[in-house]
Every structure is written in structure tokens, then in C-alpha cells.
Chain A
Amino acid sequence: MTRRLLPALLGVAVLVAIPLSIRNSFFLHVCILILMWTVLGAAWNVLGGFAGQVSFGHAALFAVGAYTTIILYLKGGLAPWWGIPLGGLAAALVSVPIGLLCFRLRGPYFALATLAVAEIVKLVALNWESVTAGSVGYLITTLPPVRLFGLEVNWERKPPFFAAAAVLAVVALLTTGWLRNSRLGAYLVAIRENEDAAEAVGIDTVRAKVVTLALSAFLAGMGGGFYAFYFRYVDPDAVAGIGLSMEMVFIAVVGGLGTVGGPLIGAVFLTAVAELVRDRFQMGHLIFYGLFMMLVIRFMPEGIWGRVRRLTPGARTGG
């Protein structure tokens, strides 16, 4: 127990220390991005890493969360701490019928179906103008005045966003950690290993996958909601593109499929590559995403964190 508690406490300490000690807003911005990508990578990993169900359409769930959150705020005045979880909930609700349909397919067929679903969601976002404002999108100009512990929250600075992203990332990692040790998590691994055999020993594979997709969608939707408030702008290209889906895949694969810490490592890696390359070339980071994904699958299919765990003496196998 202490073996797990210690790094967790250390992590929380680091999360608290960063905004208190660092004033450089660019650095904080990078940290916020890492935390946001951790949430999204973890969301994808729950389904793709544990259950082996590769989705190329997770941007659709992110988009549902982002739109729900921003619409609730702009039209209903709902504050971020309500809007973000509700965005997650909306994504989870949308994911259930999607799952019931697409999980009739297996392996690559499932992946193709998710791609189509994501394209359909993007088309709906573009065309359902009365709700989504079409290609114009939504813009947040001001955030609500809030007092917390007697202090006015300054939305123009980074720390409040850092705190929100940290909470979401902790939720995402705790969820993954719980999943790994739960019966559902064991079922998912069984499904990944051999779906027929899993059914044969009495595992309701469709239910397990749909529940997991909903969980994954909840995390991705909250990520979308956070994105809406942090970047204050939502339009179909920004939140529903195939590139976003691929970035989530990338984080989970590079970090380590089916591991708890992988998405964090993957998010650090992705953000670092993006920020290092951005100064030099525009869009160049996607070249490196592609390249690293190929290298990882060729030489380190268990991902960075998976490799570290394997090399650490005494690490539990199979989890």
C-alpha cells in the first residue's frame, strides 16, 4: 500500500507546489496542457489500452463535452464546475447508443466504425446551426466573478485553470488505477486477450465494453469542457477533427497501453514535442507524432511507461 501511496502523495505535492512557486505563465500553460492531455490520453487508454478496442473517433466525445459545457455557460450561465462534469455526462450519454451499435463489430471494423461516427458528429456540429452555431462556433468573452477562500479568482491568470486541470487529471488517473484493480478491469483485459473466450466464461462483453466506453467518454467529455473554458473558443474544426482523435491515440500508445501512469508520460512527451517544434515549424509536431508512434510500435509496443515498469524490479506483471 505504501508503495502506491508514496508516489500518489508526491504527485499531489508537486501539483500543489507548481502554481504556488512558479510565476512563469508560459510554463504554467505547458503544465496545464500536459494535465489536459493526460485526461484525454487516460480516457482513450481505458477503452483502447485495457479493453483493446481501438477508437479513431474519440474527438466526437470530446466535442460533445466541449459543446455542452460552452452552451450551458453561454445560454444558461452555468459555472465551469457544473458545466465541465455535465459535459462529461453528456458525452457519456451519447456514447451509450454509439457503443451499442459499434461494439457489434470487432477489431479493425470497430475502429473504422468509430471513424465514421466521428465524421458524422463533426458534420452535425457544422450543420446544426441553431444549437452549435455551425462553423462560426462559440466564443467566451468573460468568465464569471468568483470568490474562493475570500479571494477574488483572477480568470486572466493561469493558476485557477491549473487547479482545475490538476483535479481532472487526478480524477482520470484515480479512475484508471481503480479500474486496473477492479473486476471490470480484469474483464476488459480478458476481452482484449480473446473476446470469445471471455464470453464463454460468462463475461458479458458487450456490457463491459459499453460501460467502459461511457467511462472513457465521461473523461473525454470533461476534457472537452475544460478545453472550452481554457481556450474560450469552440468550433467544429477545433474540437471534432480527426487530428484530435489521433493525438489521444498517440498519448496512450507512446505512454503505454493499459498502464495507469502511461497517459501522463505520453502527455508530457506530446506536449514537449509540440512546444519544442512549434517555434521552428508550423504544424511540424504532427510529423513527429507520426514518427514516434511508428517507432514505439516497432521497438517498444508496451510504451514508455510499460517499459519502465517491466525494467523495475518487483513490478507486478500482467497489470
Chain B
Amino acid sequence: METFAQSLVSGVLTGALYAMIGIGLTVVFGVMRIINLAHGEMVMLGMFGAFWSQKLWKLDPFVSLLVWTPLMFVAGMLLYRLLLRKIIPGGELNTLLYTAGLSLLIANLALFAWTGDYRTISLSYGITPFRPLGIAIAVPLAVAFVLAILITVTLWLFLSRTDLGRAIRATSQNPEASVLMGIDVERVAMVTFGLGTALAGAAGVLLAPSLYLYPTVGELLIVKCFVIVVLGGLGSVPGAIAGGILLGVVESLGAVYVSGTYKDGIGFVLFLAVLLYRPSGLFGAGR
């Protein structure tokens, strides 16, 4: 029972970070109807950002969030403005292939620059876990969890309380109507892509102290990310949160109760099952 509670808690904590990555992908899909295959690489860049901040500037990874989140936001907007904008009218499959190329490019540039070594970030406060109610929780993961919630709530406030945020949600719900309503779709798309990239980068920074980091980690993360957004329904932010936490918990419980490396497969089986039987997501309305 204690093992169960323990893995449930760590599952929820990791799941919140997964959810952040998922929200980034799903918001971009909602507005632009594109699936960004390079999303995992954005997370990887965030992870390495945190790593080098500590290594070179002795900056705490969580403090470096203040540097990398805005930087990734700008990078995302530029990426959209300079590269993706010209591709999207060519159709969704072209965009898919293009971002696949982008993913290869970024991951392997990173591999070239930083080699394929597995790295870790060690923190002075990362050694002893704190134990509320007898459950051991790693401090960095707990801090990341709190920050993830903070970021998600801020995003939600932005989407529901500001004009630009409302425009993003309107475009996501009905692209044609939003044009008629006088929304500058180009600008909305650019900001949305920036947001998605920033969320991925921030999640990477937050995850960095809790995971191994290596240049091709994005491959693993993007697949997890697909699982999350498909579970929650592509385009839905609350769905991505639920999907992220669900995946975190399933993985965490799987690690305890399923033998061997098959535990990595649970997510995929769940993913396929949902894609095939509830393509609008576990929580979405029926098709």
C-alpha cells in the first residue's frame, strides 16, 4: 500500500511536468492544426539550458527558468515567422515532414556540439528527500511541480483574461470565424507558437534536475507528448493536463507492477487504444 501511494505521488508530480509539454503541443495544434514533431527538441534545449546555466554561470536551474522561458518564447516566434509560416499552406503532411526534418537537425546539432553523453544536474538540496506522511519526495521534483502549476495557472489566466489570450482561444475553436471577427490570425499564430515553444523549454528546465539529459532525449519525450495529447484530445488544454498526469501515474505504477522494460510499452498501448477507439480523446465529446 505504501509503495502504491509512493508511486502514485511521484507519478502525479512527473505527470504535471509532462502536462506542461503536452499543453505546448496541443495549443499549437489547436490554433494552427499542425503537429510540431520538433517539440521534444524544444524540451531538450530547455534541459541543456538549465545544465549549462549551472555549469558555466553557477546558476540554480530553477532560477535559470527566468532566462530560458523568454528566450524560448522569442525563438519560437522567430521559428514560426522565418521558417514555418511558408510551409503551413502546403498542407499538414508537408508541415509534419518539415518539422520532422527540424527535429533531426536540432537533435543532431546538439549531439555534435555536446556529444551523446548522459548528463545529470546535481543540486545541494537534491540529496535528502522530504517526507510528508511517510512518502519520500525528491525536493527538485517537488519544486518543479509547484513551478509547473504556477506556470500553467499563469497561462490559463493569460488565455482567459487577456485580449490576445481570448483571440488564441477563439482561433483554436473556429479559425474561419476568427478571421471574420477581425483577429490578426498571423499574429495569433506567431504568439501561439512562441508560447508552445516556451512551455516546452520551461518544462525542460524543470525536468532537467530529475532526468538524465542527452541530445536525443527529445525522441522519447515527443512520443510521450503524443500519448498525452491524444489521451486528452488534440487541441484541448484541460485534456493535456489530465493526459499528462494520467501518463505520469501509469508509468510510475507500471514501473512497480509491470516486469521488465515492457513498462515503457503501457503508454503506447494506451495511446493506440485511444487513437483507435476514441480519437477525440478520453475526455472529449464523442466524434
Contact = CB atoms under 8 A, between A and B. Distances in A.
A109 B96 contact: no
B35 to A, nearest CB: 5
A71 B105 CA distance: 35
Given A56-B100, A283-B112, A123 B265 contact: yes
A290 B112 contact: no
B226 A112 contact: yes
Interface string B105-122: 111110110001000000
Contacts of B226: 112, 115-116
Interface in A262-298: 281, 283-284, 286-287, 289-294, 297-298
Interface stretch (B132-140, B166-174, B199-207, B266-274): B266-274
A105 B226 CA distance: 15
B261 interface: yes
Interface stretch (B67-75, B83-91, B147-155): B83-91
Interface string B240-283: 00000000000000000000111011001101100110010000
Contacts of A290: 101-108
A298 B106 CA distance: 17
B112 A284 contact: yes
Contacts of B276: 101, 104-105, 113
Contacts of B107: 286, 290
Contacts of A101: 272, 276
Contact of B271 (A108, A116, A287, A301): A116
A168 B271 CA distance: 36
Task: Give the residue among B90, B106, B262, B275 with the most A Cβ atoms within 10 A.
Answer: B275
Interface residues of B, number: 41
Interface residues of A, number: 39
A116 B268 contact: yes
A107 B93 contact: yes
Contacts of B262: 123, 127
B97 interface: yes
The main secondary structure of chain A at its interface with chain B is helix
Nearest to A113: B275
B108 A111 contact: no
Interface string A123-142: 10011000000000000000
A120 B279 CA distance: 19
Among A56, A108, A111, A246, the one with the most B-chain Cβ atoms within 10 Å of its Cβ is: A108
B223 A115 contact: yes
Nearest to B265: A123
Given A107-B92, A116-B223, A249-B97, A294 B105 contact: yes
Given A104-B276, A284-B112, A127 B261 contact: yes
Interface string A85-107: 00000000000000001001101
Nearest to A281: B112
Contact of B98 (A52, A109, A120, A298): A298
Interface of A: 52, 54, 56, 101, 104-105, 107-109, 111-113, 115-117, 119-120, 123, 126-127, 242, 246, 249-250, 253, 281, 283-284, 286-287, 289-294, 297-298, 301
18 contacts: A54-B96, A101-B276, A109-B279, A111-B35, A111-B96, A112-B226, A116-B271, A119-B264, A120-B268, A123-B265, A284-B112, A290-B101, A290-B102, A290-B107, A294-B83, A294-B102, A294-B105, A298-B86
Interface of B: 35, 83, 86-87, 90, 92-94, 96-98, 100-109, 111-112, 116, 219, 223, 226-227, 230, 260-262, 264-265, 268-269, 271-272, 275-276, 279
